[in-house]
């Protein structure tokens, strides 16, 4: 029951944040839309920031689940990395699209973006390291420092979130699918054993 109530608050908050924006949503709005009292919401969350972080964590957990599934696949390391990059970009686009007006204010506030990324960055680095180690062990990748390479790859992908979501390279004739493909090839060519 406790988890169910907490999850209900998170989902209601996500919907309100998407519709009204984070700044225009109050804890009272969330409690009311959840058919719970203000006291009840404060037993689960100390502040709107806490519930906002819980919303972001729930959304990023879905992303991490998809990425873990890719890493666990019995596939070649280069296939995993290619699929990882495509999935990461597309899932972030879906998350942002699903969250409506949250996206506008969210991406304008660099601190919020950094906080959200910090929640999953270490986990993403670990997943990328698994793929890279697999590639090195199978003699497909030639990488001097797996951890540093994973960090750079993760940051390169993160840097493409906004252009991918906004289809920002379309003016150059590069659509989302082509962008994913180019990024994956660029990274793979940099680490593939020659």
d(CA 177, CA 154): 19
For the segment 110-122, the average pLDDT, to the nearest whole number, is 73
**pTM exceeds 0.85:** no
Is 155 inside a domain boundary? Answer: yes
Look up the domain containing 155 and give its range.
55-191
Is 118 inside a domain boundary? Answer: yes
Is 49 inside a domain boundary? Answer: no
d(CA 121, CA 156): 12
Residue 51: the pLDDT is 93
Reading the block at residue 157, the tokens are: 């992908």
CATH number at residue 177: 1.10.357.10
Is 176 inside a domain boundary? Answer: yes
Is 4 inside a domain boundary? Answer: no
Is residue 186 packed enough to be buried (19+ CB in 10 Å), middle (13-18) or exposed (0-12)? Answer: exposed
Is 26 inside a domain boundary? Answer: no
Contact (CB, 8 A) for 174 and 182? yes
- From residue 44, alpha-carbon distances to 12, 14, 106 in Å are 14, 15, 23
Q: Is the pLDDT of residue 39 over 60?
A: yes
State the pLDDT confidence band at 142, using cuts at 50, 70 and 90: very high
Residue 108: the pLDDT is 54
Is 60 inside a domain boundary? Answer: yes
Is 66 inside a domain boundary? Answer: yes
Domain count for the chain, please give it: 1
Q: In degrees to the nearest 10, what's the CA dihedral of 144, 149, 151, 155?
A: 150
Q: Is the pLDDT of residue 101 over 50?
A: no
For the segment 168-190, the average pLDDT, to the nearest whole number, is 85
């Amino acid at each position: 029951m406790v988890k169910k109530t907490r999850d209900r608050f998170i989902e209601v908050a996500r919907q309100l944040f998407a519709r009204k924006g984070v700044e225009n949503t109050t804890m009272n709005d969330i409690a009311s839309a959840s058919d719970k009292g203000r006291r009840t919401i404060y037993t689960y969350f100390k502040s709107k920031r806490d519930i906002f972080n819980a919303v972001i964590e729930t959304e990023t957990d879905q992303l991490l689940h998809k990425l873990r599934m890719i890493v666990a696949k019995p596939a070649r390391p280069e296939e995993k990395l290619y699929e990882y990059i495509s999935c990461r970009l597309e899932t972030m686009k879906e998350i942002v699209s699903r969250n409506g007006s949250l996206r506008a204010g969210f991406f304008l506030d660099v601190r919020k973006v950094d906080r959200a990324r910090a929640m999953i960055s270490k986990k993403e680095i670990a997943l990328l390291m698994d793929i890279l180690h697999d590639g090195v062990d199978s003699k497909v990748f030639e990488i001097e420092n797996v951890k540093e390479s994973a960090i750079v790859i993760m940051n390169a992908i993160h840097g493409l979130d906004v252009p991918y979501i906004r289809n920002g390279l379309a003016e150059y004739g590069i659509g989302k699918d082509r962008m994913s493909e180019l990024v994956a090839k660029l990274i793979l060519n940099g680490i593939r054993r020659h």
